[in-house]
Amino acid sequence: MKRKLRLAYVAIALSLISFTNIGFRPPAITFNDQSSFDIDGDLWNDCTGEWVHITGQIHFTVHGMINGNRISMVQHGNCQGLSGVGLSSRKHYAGSNVFNDIYNANFAGSYTALTTSSVKLNASGSDNNLTVTIRTKTTVNANGDITASHLEDSMFCQ
């Protein structure tokens, strides 16, 4: 009788332990963020041998989920009103771009993604078109807090 009672206590204890372990699983964390970065600076144009003043804005959104040791994240960006003016020639350039990046990766307390997007800036006629490369760094911490920063841009001939 004592043995059966002891086995019953062990069974109850094990079921309580297994039942309470369900509650130890951390909940999934979702995150959403929007940022805008102004572009306003001079880039060297090797095609024409002059500086080009570039202006515009990048609108950037990030959505995702951290689930245990996995992260899924979607980034969307679009360049709005991107234009340039040759400082010597006064040649005008204009362009736009949209990009989407999807990340699925291991998560160990923090995750960083580097995004590179290229925007073709067209001038009147077919000569001297440019491509501006825009880089963005996005970091997500364990709480789902997002830090997005615009890194240095570069330009090359097209």
Q: Which amino acid is at 62?
A: V
Q: How far is CA 48 from the centre of its chain?
A: 33
Q: Nearest 5°: phi and psi at 96?
A: -150, 165
Asked if residue 7 has pLDDT above 60, the reply is no
Q: Nearest 5°: phi and psi at 151?
A: -95, 180
* SS percent in the chain: helix, strand, coil, step 5: 15, 65, 20
- What are 146-158's pLDDT values in tens digits? 988 877 777 767 6
For range 81-93, the mean pLDDT: 90
In sequence order, what are the residues at sequence separation of 6 or more whose Cβ sits closer than 8 angstroms to the Cβ of residue 56? Answer: 38, 39, 79, 80, 81, 82, 83
Q: 3-state DSSP call for residue 24?
A: helix
Confidence at residue 75, expressed as pLDDT on a 0 to 100 scale: 92
Domain ranges of the chain: 28-157
Residue 116 DSSP code: E
- What are 109-140's pLDDT values in tens digits? 999 998 888 888 888 776 667 888 888 889 99
Q: How far apart are CA 43 and CA 82, in angstroms?
A: 13
Q: Which pair of tokens denotes residue 105?
A: 């990766």
Q: How far apart are CA 66 and CA 60, in angstroms?
A: 20
Confidence at residue 76, expressed as pLDDT on a 0 to 100 scale: 92
Confidence at residue 127, expressed as pLDDT on a 0 to 100 scale: 67
Q: How far is CA 38 from the centre of its chain?
A: 16
Confidence at residue 24, expressed as pLDDT on a 0 to 100 scale: 57
Confidence at residue 14, expressed as pLDDT on a 0 to 100 scale: 53
Helix H segments across the chain?
2-21
- What are 36-84's pLDDT values in tens digits? 888 898 988 887 888 999 999 988 899 999 998 999 999 998 888 889 9
Asked if residue 4 has pLDDT above 70, the reply is no
Confidence at residue 155, expressed as pLDDT on a 0 to 100 scale: 73
